[in-house]
Chain A
């Protein structure tokens, strides 16, 4: 079904320029500002996901108090292969650098101001690159390999290609990992992937989720449920949690078949004391009676799952100390998994000991994962020079009877 693969208005997409990602909701006629580019999304509508667009450069404001209106860039479909702009991806390496003379930037006579001026006059990216080449005294002395590399570097900077991708948990996780890791408790995607398998998340299961990861964990769990099952999202305090990333997933509007349910964590502790009153139905900020009714219905369903101890998995990925949270939620069904993430080892060590003493869990494992990415090129294969030095810890286990 090709129509499924078309970019539509009023959905969230992932924009990519030079490996930088951003999630944006496309709204007709509304200007998008992304990586120094300004453009309206309308031309992307109807194109397939994965299409690469060239966006014309826009003159930049010369000073912050300059109120001159700025023209928007134009979007244009291209078949540019973004990988071919990767300066590392060349076939051969330059011989050596014995004849390289460091000119300390004097070989280029075009200065930053000149470029800004050119942009102000509406020069295209190609014109700027051409001008840079013509005014570089060293360009002709370079080997063809390094001429190529120079060109690619400049093209990458001045020719503005963006790619539009369909959001999914992989891209949303990557986006947060690279741009706002603190908002997902510095969790990395290999950890996210292990959370989903260790908790055995599958179609139609009931999952209890406690997260302070902007909704990335909740959204990923929902994605893997495939529209059936129940997620009971427990959060701290009365105020609604930050679940901004949920909107990136383009889940259907909250209606009868949506499986996300909110309950405050505080209500759970009440519930565990034998009180069964739901809280928080006064602070629902929704317009329309139907949505309110739906929401209430969801909350009741979530309560039903908790009260009848029907949880198939518990996932805790938050900034809080996990021990009390997990101990309250350990009412899940027998032989079902739980997964707890923490940025730090010590809280999980404590939980590990508590659980092994209590006898309510087996197969306890405290793990961390080292991920190494590789540059694989002919004659130039090696691990990436920079890598993440640690991505937190996971405690996994299975619930059993303690009798």
Chain B
């Protein structure tokens, strides 16, 4: 039940996130009597059962934290079966689709379930997610995963092709999310799934050609869709570090040089430092996601 509610202590059967470092985490299903190996040594599951989430455990070669699962931690630790959506895009999708407890959502495809977990968190306990995946094995795995995570009451996975067969439900959804190779062919399927009183649609596509076709179809007379908007998000994470900027040796003992550099006011301590100027700054990573995908949003409101 960890994704939809909070608890304070670890129990057998829980999924927990083992934190070894900022970019070194993995999910763990807690089972009585089991032992898991990590790069810091073995973790005995019995050792963490009944302890508080957030507790630090010492292994033979280092320490780990046992964290409460959240959809955001799941997104960065889940086993990839496909390309997945990351938190910046997921956040915007949930917000732009107006999701809140009680919302009914249709999603295609399920993929690795990164977005699905976040949707369920936001719409539970009164909402429901109908998620469609055309790849049979992926659909089964996702279904099993939801069950293991205690989410079966809030979601059904369907193995079907949304373009050929549409969504399995009609006129019930508050929101539809599409992440499929040709979303432009699923616009009427989306319209059929959405409530007659209206709703929101989002389509995620990595390529601009898909976006163009999707927008054209959304703007088609009689489609029922309005307010088409396209966004792209780039989220940067920076590291707070102390940096040293070396000073050139200009011979500040020389009065002429000194008067030029320091001036009369003597207010800039940085220029008089002998060897290096030191400050705290945000260091950006050498490489970052420059593109994940385009987000197309629209409002459904049939006349």
Contact = CB atoms under 8 A, between A and B. Distances in A.
Interface of A: 2, 4-5, 48-50, 79, 81-83, 89, 168-170, 189-190, 192-194, 196-198, 200, 202-205, 223-228, 312, 333-337, 345, 349, 352-353, 362-378, 381, 383, 398-401, 403
B202 to A, nearest CB: 12
Given A202-B4, A362-B19, A193 B226 contact: no
B118 A197 contact: yes
Nearest to B95: A193
21 contacts: A168-B98, A169-B95, A169-B98, A190-B88, A190-B91, A194-B87, A197-B71, A223-B100, A228-B101, A312-B6, A335-B54, A335-B68, A353-B280, A368-B236, A370-B235, A374-B230, A400-B54, A400-B56, A400-B65, A401-B55, A401-B56
B22 interface: yes
Contact of B219 (A49, A83, A336, A362): A83
B277 interface: no
Contacts of B303: 79
Nearest to A168: B98
Interface in B66-118: 66-68, 70-72, 87-88, 90-92, 94-96, 98, 100-102, 118
A371 B232 contact: yes
Contacts of B124: 202-203
Most buried by B among A369, A372, A376: A376
B121 interface: yes
A381 B212 contact: yes
B240 A349 contact: yes
Nearest to B68: A335
Contacts of A370: 233-236
B211 A345 contact: no
Contacts of B208: 376, 381
A363 B6 CA distance: 19
Contacts, number: 184
Contacts of A399: 54
Contact of B91 (A196, A336, A377): A196
Contacts of A372: 231-234
A202 B88 contact: no
B211 A376 contact: yes
Given A203-B125, A374-B231, 9 more contacts: A48-B198, A83-B219, A193-B91, A196-B94, A203-B101, A365-B22, A366-B238, A374-B232, A400-B54
Contact of B92 (A193, A224, A377): A193
B264 interface: no
B208 to A, nearest CB: 6
A312 B94 CA distance: 20
Contact of B198 (A5, A227, A375, A401): A5
B100 A369 contact: no
A179 to B, nearest CB: 18
Contacts of B68: 335-336
Task: Classify chain B: how many residues form its interface, as a range.
Answer: 35 or more
A349 B91 contact: no
Given A200-B70, A203-B101, A362 B237 contact: no
Contact of B95 (A2, A189, A227): A189
A349 B280 CA distance: 8
Contacts of B102: 226
A-B CB proximity, top 8 nearest: A226-B101, A334-B54, A335-B54, A193-B95, A193-B91, A335-B53, A374-B230, A335-B68
Contact of B197 (A48, A170, A223, A363): A48
A395 to B, nearest CB: 10
A370 B234 CA distance: 5
B216 interface: yes
A367 B65 contact: no
B219 to A, nearest CB: 7
Contacts of A48: 197-198
A193 B202 CA distance: 15
B237 A367 contact: yes
Contacts of A50: 198, 299, 301
B101 A225 contact: yes
A14 to B, nearest CB: 12
Nearest to B281: A349
Most buried by B among A81, A168, A198, A200: A200
B228 interface: yes
A247 to B, nearest CB: 18
A377 B228 CA distance: 11
B198 to A, nearest CB: 6
A376 B215 contact: yes
Nearest to B4: A202
Given A197-B118, A376-B215, A226 B100 contact: yes
A48 B233 CA distance: 33
Contacts of A193: 91-92, 94-96
Nearest to B54: A334
B141 interface: no
Nearest to A333: B8
Contacts of A170: 95-96, 98
Interface string B151-164: 00000000000000
A161 B95 CA distance: 27
Contacts of B88: 190, 194, 369
A371 B231 contact: yes
Contacts of B228: 83, 376
Contacts of A353: 240, 280
Contact of B6 (A82, A169, A336, A376): A336
B265 interface: no
B257 interface: no
A368 B235 contact: yes
A386 to B, nearest CB: 15
Contacts of A403: 56
B52 interface: yes
A82 B226 contact: yes
A197 B89 CA distance: 11
Given A196-B91, A376-B211, A83 B216 contact: no
B54 A401 contact: yes
A398 B231 CA distance: 29
Contacts of A83: 219, 226-228
A169 B70 CA distance: 22
Contacts of A49: 197-198
B175 to A, nearest CB: 11
B291 to A, nearest CB: 10
